[in-house]
Amino acid sequence: MNTPVKSPIAIDAAGLTDIGRVRESNEDHFVIATVQKSVAIDATSLASTALTGRFGASGARLLAVADGVGGRPGGELASEWTVTALLDYLGHTAECFQGLDPAKEEDLFERLEATIKSVHERLLQGAATEGEKAPATTVTMILLAWPRAYLVHVGDSRAYVRRQGRLQRLTRDQTVGEYMLSVGAWTETQAARPGPAAVLASAVGGSELMPTVGLVDLEPGDALVLCTDGLHKHVPDERIAAALEGPGSAGDICRQLVDEALAGGGTDNVTVLVAKAN
């Protein structure tokens, strides 16, 4: 008997970027990429239980967003370099994500951080040669090797996970306001004010680079969101959660959230990535 093979977890992923209503150029960049190194079985007499986990058919998925820092020349270039460097890393190490050994996770984080640091140093060296201030960018990325999602974060772009109706932020904004709040020097109201509180305390190409890493194990039905501050300036977490609860595709949700950011003022470039595990 020739029995169709049951599909593995499907990841519906999409991204959308918009210049916004105020800025003259878009300094955001994003990428969603899949590395597929597997055996694809179209039909077999073997039971699905005999095949589960044997070929790692889900591969690896990279989701990354970067937001060039306004007020500096070359912000768009900084975000572009950071995203393309992550793509280069993924392309050169595709074989590593076929059944990733948890014992090697620390090494994975180190290599992802090293990739970001190499762009940071390249930006600083170029600026020193030109005698100018280095272009800078945020970056928030998730490398999804199901069911594990590996997170690396710099700046004030964000990552969220929604599970069973609850939205959780996976990142903490690396801003002066958040730092002052963490040490007890400011209240939440003071930390949320525009101006000095919004200045980045860490950025790729900035005076300080402090990547943070994290790991979350996903489950079927979970959803991930990555976004630049052009979204969370205008769309509160409860609205992001509400959009994810709807029946729409990842692309539909991206469109809804970008539209809400524009309706709320659109004062910055806005980029949203959504990935749903079905």
- Say what the pLDDT of residue 48 is: 58
Task: Quickly count: other Cβ atoms within 10 Å of residue 27's Cβ.
Answer: 25
> What is residue 45's predicted lDDT score, i.e. its pLDDT?
42
- Note whether residue 115 is domain-resident: yes
Question: 237-245 and 250-263 helices cross at what angle (nearest 10)?
Answer: 150
pLDDT number for residue 1: 45
Neighbours of 166 (CB within 10 A): 8
- Asked if the structure places residue 193 within a domain, the reply is no
Q: Mean pLDDT over residues 195-210, rounded?
A: 93
Residue range 94-106: mean pLDDT, rounded: 64
pLDDT band at 100 (very low <50, low <70, confident <90, very high): low
- Average pLDDT of the segment spanning 17-25: 95
Higher pLDDT, 106 or 237: 237
**Residue 124 falls inside a structural domain:** yes
Decide if 181 is inside a domain: no
Greatest mean pLDDT among 9-13, 35-39, 44-48, 261-265? 261-265
Question: How far is Cα 16 from Cα 228, in angstroms, rounded to an integer?
Answer: 11
Confidence of residue 20 (pLDDT cuts 50, 70, 90): very high
Residue type for position 131: G
| CB-based burial label for 142 (10 Å; 0-12, 13-18, 19+) | buried
pTM of the model: 0.87
Q: What is the span of the domain harbouring residue 217?
A: 11-171+204-277
- Is there a domain that residue 182 lies in? no
H-type helices in 139-206, by residue range?
A: 176-182, 188-191
Phi and psi torsions of 276, nearest 5°: -115, 130
In a domain, residue 186? The reply is no
CATH of the domain at 94: 3.60.40.10
pLDDT in tens, 110-144: 999 999 999 999 999 988 777 778 899 999 999 99
Do residues 156 and 173 touch, judged by C-beta distance below 8 A?
yes
Number of structural domains, the chain?
1
Please give the pLDDT value at position 193.
Answer: 83
Instruction: Supply the pLDDT for residue 208.
Output: 95
Q: How high is the mean pLDDT of the chain?
A: 86
Residue with tokens 């991930």: 224
Helix H or strand E encompassing 110: helix 105-130
d(CA 276, CA 1): 33
The pLDDT confidence band at residue 190, using thresholds 50, 70 and 90, is confident
Query: What pLDDT digit, counting tens, does each position of 217-236 carry?
Result: 999 999 999 999 999 999 99
Res. 101 pLDDT band, cuts 50 70 90:
low
- pLDDT digit string, tens, across residues 133-180: 889 999 999 999 889 999 999 999 999 999 998 999 999 999 999 989
In-domain check, residue 179: no
Q: Is the pLDDT of residue 5 over 50?
A: no
Flag whether pLDDT at 7 surpasses 50.
no
Residue 180 lies in a domain: no
DSSP-derived pairing of the beta strands 158-163 and 148-154 = unpaired
pLDDT tens figures, 23-60: 999 999 999 998 766 555 565 544 555 545 544 444 68
